[in-house]
Amino acid sequence: MSETNDILALGNVCWCLTSALRDAAETIQAMKNEHSQYEIERVLSGGDSRVPLNQLVKLDIKKPTEGCGFGILIPEEKEEAEYSICFKNPLEHLQQ
């Protein structure tokens, strides 16, 4: 029975990998077609009608704001065999 499960699991992995590779190949082909179309359009129109991406990006790096509300899950200590997970603020010890 274990060999059957292993074979089915391997088949499932192969199917998922094949599907992911097919999707990736289709995406790459679509990008290649778009690039070819853009190159033809750029040569025929004699100019570049698109805005360069570096003009759309803000280049100055900003620090994240402190205490923006993100937290982590830490197990709350309980009696012997009782365990639960609660939400703790990682900056809680700094605020006290």
**Residue 27: what pLDDT?**
96
**Residues 96, 89: Cα–Cα separation, whole Å:** 12
Confidence of residue 25 (pLDDT cuts 50, 70, 90): very high
**Is the full-model pTM beyond 0.85?**
no
The 3-state DSSP class for residue 5 equals helix
Across the range 24-35, mean pLDDT stands at 95
Across the range 65-76, mean pLDDT stands at 57
Q: In the chain, what are the domain boundaries?
A: 2-52+66-95
Phi, psi of 74 (to 5 degrees): -125, 135
Statement: residue 61 has pLDDT above 90: no
Across the range 13-40, mean pLDDT stands at 93
